[in-house]
Structure 1
């Protein structure tokens, strides 16, 4: 499963996967008309990434991608951090580059989810062990105390 976040212009989609990776996908139709002549052909894409800190925004990645690229995998994004990814097509002169399209998202903290699952499993195991210990104590008490009382009772009768 994943959650999709779309840029305001609709050209860029960030698919946030459960394993903490982010798959970016994009198309050109939302960036305006195609170039009028081959000289103004698409050269590639510039992808810039940043994330919000407590007081400032930090850069995390800046990548130049080829003209044929339509997706990019950002592996191992950190949980509980707000990311901003901006993608801008690069054209040959004289055509100016259209404005970048940006998408913002937050990755669910996978580590916290794993800790909750682990603690639940450990808590369940501890409960099962306590039940077994109580049953064992009851069994030992029943089997050790009964013969002693029975012997004590028969000795008093003799």
Structure 2
């Protein structure tokens, strides 16, 4: 998914404070994570301290506590990750941290927080809009029919 750009209609993009991690929350409830290395500071000084991969940690807010939802180790060449079925109305926090070979310490994690729009509510709103629109059309037809009948049958 390199080069993916979040369109205003299809998804919402949430960026981490450092700018390295972007969570693209798609309309179907999936979340596409994308990241780059340039926001994490200078590249390692020598090959021995090369990038080994990334650690991705996920958690979500419950009513009284925060629950872990996923911990994934990703390869060094990986620059995106798809969280396929995020639950609606839940506040997620995803943190990504590069892993380097010793002796270079790992830079701080970049975190992004977002909420997925509940799919059921979206479907209900669409259905209610369609039903409301058809009721309005029926009422207009009934009013026109009553006006026609009143005009043609009730002549003085």
TM-score normalised by the chain length of structure 1: 0.77
1:106-146 Cα offsets, whole Å, 9 max, x none, are: 11112101012223434556777899999999999999999
Aligned to 1:71: 80
Query: Structure 1: which 4+ aligned runs deviate by more than 3 Å?
Result: 119-147
CA distance in 2, matches of 1:121, 1:86: 40
Q: How far apart in 1 are the matches of 2:74 and 2:155?
A: 81
Question: Alpha-carbon deviations, 1:67-114, whole Å to 9, x = none?
Answer: 000000111211111100000000011111111000001111121010
State which drifts further: 97-106 or 137-146.
Answer: 137-146
1:7-42 deviation digits (Å, cap 9, x = unpaired)? 011100011111111110000011011001101110
- Which whole-Å deviations, capped at 9, do the CAs of 1:46-65 have from their partners, x for residues lacking one? 00000001100001110000
Secondary structure at the counterpart of residue 137 of structure 1: helix
Q: What is the TM-score with the length of structure 2 in the denominator? A: 0.78
Looking at structure 1, the residues matched to 14 and 143 of structure 2 have their Cα atoms a distance apart, in angstroms, of 52
SS in structure 2 at match of 1:146: coil
Q: 1:68 to 1:139 in 2, by over 3 A?
A: same
Answer with 1 or 2: which has the greater Rg.
1
Compared CA separation, residues 131 and 31, structure 1 to 2 (3 A): closer
Q: What CA RMSD, in Å, does the superposition of the two structures yield over aligned residues?
A: 2.9
- Structure number with the higher helix fraction is 1
1:82 partnered with 2:99: no
Say yes or no: does 1:18 pair with 2:62.
no
Does 122-131 or 84-93 show the bigger shift? Answer: 122-131
CA pair 59-144 structure 1, distance change in 2 beyond 3 A: same
Say which is worse superposed, 132-141 or 26-35, in terms of deviation: 132-141
The residue aligned with 1:122 is 131
